[in-house]
Amino acid sequence: MKIDHRELTDLLQKAYSAEKAAAFAYPGHAGSVKDKEEKLAIRQIEIDEWNHRKEVLTIMQHYDIPVSRYYELRFHIIGKIISYSCYIIGWFMPYYFAGRLESGNVCEYFRMMHYFHELGILEHNEILYEMGIKEKEHEVYFLSKIKNKKLLPVFEKVFAWGSSKSFNDVDLDKKYPIEESKAYCKK
């Protein structure tokens, strides 16, 4: 079944490739930290990203949406550069930028849901909701690791994400159920 929705098609293609970039980046991030529990947590996040990529591909295949060679190459390079840079840029920045990235990824999945709803398609609600919430959990984890660091207010001011700024409106303590999640990420 083909769909005619340019924004949705592009968002699916971009998300599929961007999940690879994230998954490529996390081994470098995990390798750059010393704490074993942090390494395990980051490794689990990497696994989550590979799972998201698989789920997005399943949706794309359902609608005969091709993988974008451009996005694949672009995000492959980005992911590898980020992974290697984690060994150079210190401890704080990998956590900060991972949290910032995950913050933006939350709304990707809810926007996909909105776009599918525009087409009258509801069958992907559960998986898109789960992936959006999982990205929020990743954001919260990374922020928890840097929330008391002196650099956070400076980075928050420059890069517009941190303790008081997010790129999504999801609150894990007050989650909407799937049926009401259309309220998320409307901005």
Q: How many domains does the chain have?
A: 1
For residue 88, give both structure tokens.
């150079």
Cα angle: 172, vertex 39, 103; to 5 degrees: 35
Q: Is 46 contained in some domain? A: yes
Average pLDDT over residues 159-168: 94
pLDDT > 90: percent of the chain: 95
For residue 72, give both structure tokens.
């694949």
- Would you state the pLDDT for residue 91? 86
- The CA radius of gyration of the chain, in Å to the nearest whole number, is 17
Q: Is 101 contained in some domain? A: yes
Average pLDDT over residues 87-112: 93
- Cα separation, 118 vs 51, whole angstroms: 26
CATH number at residue 57: 1.20.1260
> Global pTM?
0.94
Give the mean pLDDT of the chain.
95
Q: Is 10 contained in some domain? A: yes
- Would you state the pLDDT for residue 90? 85
Residue 155: its H or E element: helix 152-159
Indicate if the alpha-carbon torsion angle 117, 122, 128, 130 is positive or negative.
positive
- Would you state the pLDDT for residue 170? 96
Average pLDDT over residues 82-111: 93
Q: Is 179 contained in some domain? A: yes
- Cα separation, 27 vs 184, whole angstroms: 31
- Cα separation, 21 vs 147, whole angstroms: 25
**Closest of 39, 36, 171, 181 to residue 103, by C-alpha:** 171
- Cα separation, 171 vs 3, whole angstroms: 32
Average pLDDT over residues 109-116: 97
- At residue 185 the predicted structure's pLDDT band, cuts being 50, 70 and 90, is very high
- Would you state the pLDDT for residue 186? 82
Q: Is 90 contained in some domain? A: yes
Q: Is 48 contained in some domain? A: yes
- Would you state the pLDDT for residue 154? 96
Whole-number Cα distances in Å, 160 to 110, 117, 142: 21, 30, 15
pLDDT for 187 beyond 90? no
pLDDT digits (tens, 9 = 90+) for 32-89: 999 999 999 999 999 999 999 999 999 999 999 999 999 999 999 999 999 999 999 9
**Closest of 41, 51, 49 to residue 95, by C-alpha:** 41
What is the domain range of residue 177? Answer: 6-183
Q: Is 1 contained in some domain? A: no
Q: Is 41 contained in some domain? A: yes
- Would you state the pLDDT for residue 66? 97
